[in-house]
Amino acid sequence: MTLNAQATEPGTPSDSQGMAIVARTQGQMVRRRFFRHRAALAGMIIFGFVIVLAFSSIGFAGIPGWWDKTYLDTGPLTNQGRPTLSLIPEFLGGTGIHLGEHPFGQDDIGIDYFALTMRGAQQSIIIAFVVGIVATLTGAVVGALAGYFRGRLEAVLMRLTDVMITIPVLVIAAVVGRMMGDSGALVLGVFLGLVTWPTLGRLVRGEFLSLREKEFVEAARAIGTRPSRIIFRHILPNTVGVIIVSATLGIASAVLLESALSFLGLGIQAPDTSLGQLISRYRSAMVVRPWLFWWPGMFIIMIALSINFIGDGLRDAFDPRQTRVRA
């Protein structure tokens, strides 16, 4: 339901203070608040840059990229595998800004580490998005059914949710990763999503318990509207703010969860790779060849932080307490 406000007339206290209230729809207010959130905008730029770099550089799904090396090709070690990336201009005493032959260096057997890191970023991003989508759909459906129908169905679904919440997510994910790690990023992401939905399910159920007693829902029942239509056309759209914010933060958590599983050897398996697997594989080289540890760690931080910033911006944008936008 959207509340329309009229612009204040000249001479009112708001106008005298230069804070006129303008009429905007709910969608306009959400977009306005989001794009005024500087951290969220920075997160969008960083995350967009990481996605474009990861998928355009080495290519994806048979589509070639602009980088001429792959994450499987080996070659002779150049300068002990040190990175050739230079970001210091010549006028500051550096060698100029250039990528070089191996910008992120090479691993022990001569594989280009830039290609390895980009492949790891691809896998981590794919798993994170699949986990977020599956967990969001599952949690929204379970929460909606439990919150609307109540009774025995709610009791069964909520007891299942309580059981899953009491078990540490990492433990469940480790079991899933052990069984599905060899099946690829897509399958692993689907199964991880099926065990990480309970928190969202409880949030959606709480929203439904509140909204199912509203007048517009009672009116829909009174005219004989089917329960499925009430759930998906009347109540669920009013919970979209909670769902979007939770899904965004869930994607950020999935990045860290996948990295933790791969670090423990329970995630993506060789010959494929992920960011967590790269950190696990080269953690012993942190002292003598630290770039093998820095690059995947840096991308994990960039991805997780940028998504968290976007989630914070969406949470503030959908905050119902911020109902007025000053001109």
HEC per residue, 224-258: CCCHHHHHHHHHHHHHHHHHHHHHHHHHHHHHHHH
Q: How far apart are CA 108 and CA 281, in angstroms?
A: 11
Is pLDDT above 50 for 3?
Answer: no
Q: What is the pLDDT of residue 265?
A: 81
Q: What is the pLDDT of residue 176?
A: 81
Q: Assign a CATH topology to domain 39-61+112-322.
A: MetI-like fold (1.10.3720)
Compute the mean pLDDT over every residue in the chain, rounded to the nearest whole number. 83
Q: What is the pLDDT of residue 118?
A: 93
Q: What is the pLDDT of residue 305?
A: 92
Over residues 43-52, the mean pLDDT reads 94
Q: What is the pLDDT of residue 322?
A: 54
Which is nearest to 310 in space by CA: 223, 232, 235, 251?
251
Over residues 21-35, the mean pLDDT reads 77
Q: What is the pLDDT of residue 156?
A: 92
Which range of 65-79, 229-243, 258-272, 301-315 scores highest in mean pLDDT? It is 301-315
Q: How far apart are CA 108 and CA 296, in angstroms?
A: 16
> Which run of H or E residues covers position 3?
none
